[in-house]
Amino acid sequence: MQDTIHVLYVDDESALLDIAKLFLEKEGEFAVDTLTSATEALTCIPTERYDAIISDYQMPEMDGIEFLQQVRRSGNGIPFILFTGRGREEVVIEAINNGADFYIQKGGQPRAQFAELAHKVRQAVQRRRAEMSLQESEERYRTIVNDQTEMICRFTPDGIVTFINEAYRQYFHPVLALADIEGKKIHDLMQMGEDERMDTFLASLTPETPIREMEHKVTGSDRKTYWQLFSVRALFDIRGSPLEYQVVGRDITGQKLALGALADSESRLRSFFETTSESVTLVDEEGTVIEWNPAAERITGIPKEEALGSSLADVTFRMLPREKRTEAYRAAFEEKIRAMLSTGIPIFDKPRIIETERPDGTRVFHRQVSFPIRTDKGFRFGSIAQDITSEIREAHGVRESEAKYRELADLLPQMVFEMDRDFQVTYANQHTFTTLGYTEEDLKDGVHALSIIEPSQHGRVREHIEKLLSGIPRESKEYTVIRKDGSSIPVLINAVPVYRNGNLAGFRGVMNDISARKKMDGELRESEEKYRLVVENSDNVVYIYRGSRILFANRRTTELTGYTYDELISMDIWDLVHPDDRSRLQENAKLRLSGGTPPPDFTARIVLKSGEERECEFFVNQILYQNQPALLGILKDVSERIKAEKAMRESEAKYRLLADHVYDVIFTADLDMHLTYISPSVTALRGLSPEEALAESIHDALTPASYRTITQRREQERHALHEKTTAPPYQAMELEFYKKDGSTVWTETVISPTFDRENHPTGVVGVMRDITERRKAQEALRESEETFRSLVETSPDMIWEIDLQGNFLYISPRVEAIMGYAPEELIGQSMITLLADEGKSYAMQEFHRYSTLKGSLSPLEVHGRHRDGHDMTIEIRPSLTGTAGKREGFRGFAVDITERKKAEEALRRANRQLNLLTGITRHDILNKVAIAHGFLQIAETNIDDPALAGHLGKIESALTAIRSQIEFTKIYEDIGTHEPRWIDLATVMPRQLPATVCLTADVEGVRVFADPMLEKVFSNLLDNAIRHGERVTEIRASCHTSDGDLLVVWEDNGVGIPAGEKKLIFERGFGMNTGLGMFLVREILSLTGIGISETGEPGKGARFEIRVPEAAWRMTGNGTEGLYSPCAPCR
């Protein structure tokens, strides 16, 4: 037998408590305690053990929602059912949000109502008991699992983690730095993301093989790798589909690291052994060679197969230079090997350099080191040798080269230097010491390179160094060097960075004293003939040739021609010269070699490797090269200069043509404003020919006022030039000129001074443009502004304009009468000056939002504050200024609506009081009706007299009608209380239909502007069809347009409506039921100007046409296709 359910029912209506107790306890399943106060119930709940609470909503002292909140706030999760006559949607939502299990509305048949109440109580109590049992079971399971030292985790088939034990949390929380793990994807925890390996592994688990192990690694927040070994079990339902996955695992990072380190070590050693460029050999405890890597084969020339298995003594003897291969040497060496193997002490305790001979007779130098390896049997010995043959030879060559370089550098007439990366001079040749006065002792004491450079040039030095290091081609730089005695000389410095082992070691360079070149420009060319370093850094092509063969070409030659140095040396020089210029250059070369005097310089074209032609200037002289006559050529690429000169000529012609044909008048004048040129367009402007205009003085050309203007501007410019202050680059003036016929023309004249090469003023150049029409437009604009200002200043409302930052640009004088501020006080101030503190943030947000919108802007109500401190309500009606591409601000009207708002508030207060009164009255009447219904049904079960039962039935019908009338007042009260809004028709179509009726709604994408109660319109139309259509099985809703309006048609296949009743059905009280349904439909629709009429044919079904005005409907373009489709009866 089931346990009795102990229920507490709280309601301020004692009669309802009695009826509910009678109904619920009748079958013996419930034991009901009743109380009339929620406050009393709160004191009773802790002392009594209840299974559920039933509560009314509207009660004195504390209502049902507050009672529910108090119960839940105490931590009590007891099932709570709100049983009330209040049916408002917000009450239902608030009840559910505060933890109510069910919400049941009073009214209707008591037997059915209390049967539903009993069902809900039973359902809530069973769910509560099941939850508590499950919680206890889970707690026992969780305790066992959490005590496990192995990591345990459960996750769903879509990867969501539903449970982890404490060991799992303590492991992954520090590793992955996660605060919460439950609810995350197992793929993310395993750091597999979209990787399919996890899904493939899980798919391999089947009911036949539900368990598999997997090793996995994750990267921790400390960027370390952590390994785990997991046993994964899949849990399946009866159909073989996975329900959940359980994982048990442990950390194996230590094992993996140990195994990995061992494997990595072996791999690295073997890789090093096979690929190193150094010879690596190993002999065992008996002195037999057991390892001989490829480098050992290459260095010694002895193949691996010959070396392995041989004794160390034999191999070593084979490697000795042939002059040392004596029996005595071999015997001594074998004795040393035996001693080494027995003591573990290498023959040579330090690295040594040895010379060996390969089988082919070539000699090789090694740098070799030997080392012992202790084993259980004794000592093994390893040897590592590096082939340094090239190093030895290069060192020898470097020493010889360095000696030659030092000797040559000391003989050079230039200053040669080296410095380290910190700019400390580490070497200077003798010419440097002689020129600058320093000694080698000074270098030893330390000389910083920047200390001998003029301090003002240090920035240039650093810039030059940065360019060198960034790979920009080096070039000669001129600096001033300070001698030791304090005197200075100009020098050209060429330097290059020096790298060793890929790292910057310092700089090496040459300094040329160019003091003499400052006096005679030709010395540099003679110097370039002698010093290749300077030639290599020349910006011009420098080459030497004899006959037709190029003997030398500098770097610039390769850059310009596109040929490499080797290609240039091997080619015929005349192949570089354009065929049309070749014979002329060949004649010049022959003439110069024969002692003649060809032109010292000439221009010709060369052909680059790419095929491009370049115009060049040639300077050729005869020299001695390698003790034989040759020609030295210097070639300068002048293509760009020639192009520029050509472009200049073309530009001059083009601009002369432009000036002669442009609409604006272009002119030039001397310093006294005598015209020296004027374009032909002066004829169109003033009616004068250019010659007449040139002959006219500036005084005669201008009206007196304009002549004074230009004279004053000229005096200001002369004063600026005399005082050597900066004159404006140009002056723009509006000047009035006389035309030939005596009339005048207004011009915008822009004048700019011109200067010679010494920056002395030579005159002016200017442009004149006819602005007569613009002047007329400006005058008309001023007149319009005066008219507008007159209208604004007489308006009863405040007219204003602000920029995008909200600062006033204008506000009409009316502001002083309305808000107490003079207009001049507000210009430049923020508009929030006029607002109360609580309205400032809202206003700024709205204006910021308005700045992003298009079209007209909606009015804005804000809280204003008068200068004397009292609050006001201001309605702002703004519009945007500027264009869509460039918004400039806002302008509009501001209206004081303070008195109107007070009247509206008074009206709302009266409505609230009236609604409160009707709501309380309606609640009390419905409660009394419910009590009467309850006792009637109890009485019916105890009466045998049919006549009396008939009387009771009539009473019950009357009570039902009373309840319907009272409930209608609630619905009618809500009509028009909410702002109309745009509603998608598809969302208000009825969804709950009898099984015998099919609704097809073809209204996708249609929206209408209507009261939020629009849904009741269609639910009442459905109810009307079902109640009165008699045989309705199909209902169709559709839309079409009529004269711009939208017609929403609702039609069924029932018996229809008699012709005489078509208009009466919308009247209140007409009909066989309450007579309120269709009346309510018409009232809801009329709120937004929507009409309804019945146009069906009697006997063929009802047809309602809802006419929506043109402005109250729209198509959204994204309807709800597929939301409604014909159901089974329609198909």
The CATH number that applies at residue 836 is: 3.30.450.20
Quick one: pLDDT band at residue 679, thresholds 50, 70, 90? confident
How does DSSP assign 306-345, residue by residue? HHTTSBHHHHHHHHS-GGG--HHHHHHHHHHHHHHHHH--
What are the tens digits of pLDDT across the range 518-557?
766 555 455 555 666 777 778 889 999 988 899 999 989 9
What are the tens digits of pLDDT across the range 296-313?
899 899 999 999 999 988
What is this structure's pTM?
0.31
Amino acid letter for position 976: G
* 1060 and 1103 part of one domain: yes
Confidence check: pLDDT of 489 > 70: yes
User: What was the pLDDT predicted at 661?
Assistant: 56
CA–CA dist 32, 114 (Å, integer): 13
Each residue of 263-297: b (16+ CB within 10 Å) or e? eeeeeeeeeebeeeebbbbbbbbebebebbbebbb
* 39 and 115 part of one domain: yes
CA–CA dist 362, 384 (Å, integer): 20
What are the tens digits of pLDDT across the range 850-905?
888 877 788 888 999 999 989 999 999 998 888 767 888 998 889 998 888 888 78
What are the tens digits of pLDDT across the range 41-100?
999 999 888 999 999 988 888 999 999 999 999 989 999 999 887 656 677 888 888 889
> Encoding tokens for residue 660?
């002669």
* 429 and 512 part of one domain: yes
What are the tens digits of pLDDT across the range 336-385?
989 988 998 998 878 888 889 999 989 998 888 888 999 888 999 889 88
Decide: residue 424, CB within 10 A, 0-12 exposed, 13-18 middle, 19+ buried.
Answer: middle
Bigger pLDDT: 646 vs 677: 677
* 293 and 371 part of one domain: yes
Residue 740 within a domain: yes
Q: Given 896, 926, 950, which residue is the final one in a domain?
A: 896
* 744 and 802 part of one domain: no
Residue 1100 within a domain: yes
Strands (E) in 670-712, as ranges, are 675-678
Quick one: pLDDT band at residue 848, thresholds 50, 70, 90? confident
Confidence check: pLDDT of 681 > 80: yes
Confidence check: pLDDT of 1121 > 50: no
> Encoding tokens for residue 779?
């005058």
Confidence check: pLDDT of 119 > 80: yes
Q: Output the domain CATH number for residue 24.
A: 3.40.50.2300
**Neighbouring C-alpha atoms within 13 Å toward the C-beta of 973:** 17
Decide: residue 723, CB within 10 A, 0-12 exposed, 13-18 middle, 19+ buried.
Answer: exposed
Nearest CA to 562 out of 614, 606, 605, 609 is that of: 609
Residue 531 within a domain: no
CA–CA dist 732, 751 (Å, integer): 6
- How many domains would you assign to the chain? 8
Residue 1036 within a domain: yes
> Encoding tokens for residue 471?
């790979």
CB pairs under 8 A, 24+ apart, for 821-827?
Answer: 821/867
Question: What residues contact residue 749 under an 8 Å CB cut-off, 6+ apart?
Answer: 710, 732, 733, 734, 735, 766, 767, 768, 769
CA–CA dist 638, 616 (Å, integer): 5
> Encoding tokens for residue 1041?
């347009």
Q: What domain range is 298 assigned to?
A: 276-387
pLDDT > 70 fraction of the chain, expressed in percent and rounded: 86
- Strand 151-155 and strand 242-251: the pairing is antiparallel
Each residue of 849-866: b (16+ CB within 10 Å) or e? ebeeeeeebeebebbbbb
| Top-ranked range on mean pLDDT: pick from 768-777, 927-936, 961-970 | 768-777
Q: Output the domain CATH number for residue 1076.
A: 3.30.565.10
User: What was the pLDDT predicted at 1126?
Assistant: 37
Please tell me the least confidently modeled range out of 274-283, 395-404, 493-502, 545-554. Answer: 395-404
Alpha-carbon separation of residue 851 from 30, 98, 590, 809, 895 (angstroms):
66, 41, 82, 17, 21
* 542 and 510 part of one domain: no
User: What was the pLDDT predicted at 211?
Assistant: 92
* Average pLDDT estimate for 208-228: 87
User: What was the pLDDT predicted at 1120?
Assistant: 37
* 133 and 156 part of one domain: no
Residue 222 within a domain: yes
Contact 675, 694 (CB under 8 A): yes
Quick one: which H or E segment has residue 613? strand 613-625
Contact 832, 874 (CB under 8 A): no
Nearest CA to 539 out of 474, 618, 460 is that of: 474
User: What was the pLDDT predicted at 579?
Assistant: 92
User: Which runs of consecutive H residues, i.e. helices, occur in 807-857?
Assistant: 814-819, 823-826, 837-850
Confidence check: pLDDT of 712 > 90: no
CA–CA dist 570, 573 (Å, integer): 9
Quick one: pLDDT band at residue 1047, thresholds 50, 70, 90? very high
**Neighbouring C-alpha atoms within 13 Å toward the C-beta of 337:** 23
Contact 702, 736 (CB under 8 A): yes
Alpha-carbon separation of residue 511 from 223, 410, 494, 698 (angstroms):
54, 13, 7, 62
CA–CA dist 803, 824 (Å, integer): 16
Please tell me the least confidently modeled range out of 33-42, 167-176, 821-830. Answer: 167-176
| Residue showing tokens 């009165």 | 1028
**How many other CB atoms sit within 10 Å of the CB of residue 633?**
21
What are the tens digits of pLDDT across the range 135-166?
877 777 777 677 677 888 999 998 899 888 88
Please tell me the least confidently modeled range out of 475-479, 566-570, 876-880. Answer: 475-479
* Average pLDDT estimate for 963-989: 74
Q: Given 485, 519, 553, which residue is the final one in a domain?
A: 519
User: What was the pLDDT predicted at 1129?
Assistant: 36
Decide: residue 216, CB within 10 A, 0-12 exposed, 13-18 middle, 19+ buried.
Answer: middle
Quick one: pLDDT band at residue 1118, thresholds 50, 70, 90? very low
Residue 779 within a domain: no
Confidence check: pLDDT of 1009 > 70: yes
SS3 74: coil
pLDDT > 90 fraction of the chain, expressed in percent and rounded: 25
Nearest CA to 567 out of 605, 607, 609 is that of: 609
* 981 and 1098 part of one domain: yes
Q: Across the chain, which distance is largest between two alpha carbons, in Å?
A: 158
Residue 1123 within a domain: no
CA–CA dist 191, 526 (Å, integer): 73
SS3 974: helix
Question: What residues contact residue 597 under an 8 Å CB cut-off, 6+ apart?
Answer: 591
Confidence check: pLDDT of 1124 > 50: no
* Average pLDDT estimate for 647-662: 64
CA–CA dist 678, 785 (Å, integer): 39
**How many other CB atoms sit within 10 Å of the CB of residue 113?**
21
* 85 and 211 part of one domain: no
Contact 924, 963 (CB under 8 A): no
Amino acid letter for position 193: G
* Average pLDDT estimate for 801-822: 90
User: Which runs of consecutive H residues, i.e. helices, occur in 889-1033?
Assistant: 898-940, 946-974, 1014-1028
Nearest CA to 999 out of 1048, 1057, 1052, 1055 is that of: 1052
What's CA 839's distance to the chain center, in Å?
34
* Average pLDDT estimate for 225-247: 90
* 312 and 432 part of one domain: no
User: What was the pLDDT predicted at 1016?
Assistant: 86
What's CA 867's distance to the chain center, in Å?
47
SS3 747: strand
Starting from the edge strand earliest in sequence, which strands make up the sheet with 52-55, in order? 30-35, 5-10, 52-55, 80-84, 102-105
> Encoding tokens for residue 998?
């099919």
Residue 784 within a domain: no
User: What was the pLDDT predicted at 725?
Assistant: 55
CA–CA dist 890, 802 (Å, integer): 5
Please tell me the least confidently modeled range out of 570-574, 577-581, 898-902, 1032-1036. Answer: 898-902
Q: Given 881, 896, 911, which residue is the final one in a domain?
A: 896
3-state helix, strand, coil in the chain (%, to 5): 45, 30, 30
Q: What is the DSSP letter of 1123?
A: S
CA–CA dist 32, 6 (Å, integer): 6
* 767 and 678 part of one domain: yes
| Residue showing tokens 């004596």 | 326
Average per-residue pLDDT for the chain: 83
What are the tens digits of pLDDT across the range 620-648?
888 888 888 888 888 988 888 888 777 77
* 442 and 339 part of one domain: no
Quick one: pLDDT band at residue 1130, thresholds 50, 70, 90? very low
CA–CA dist 432, 549 (Å, integer): 38
Nearest CA to 41 out of 29, 27, 56 is that of: 56
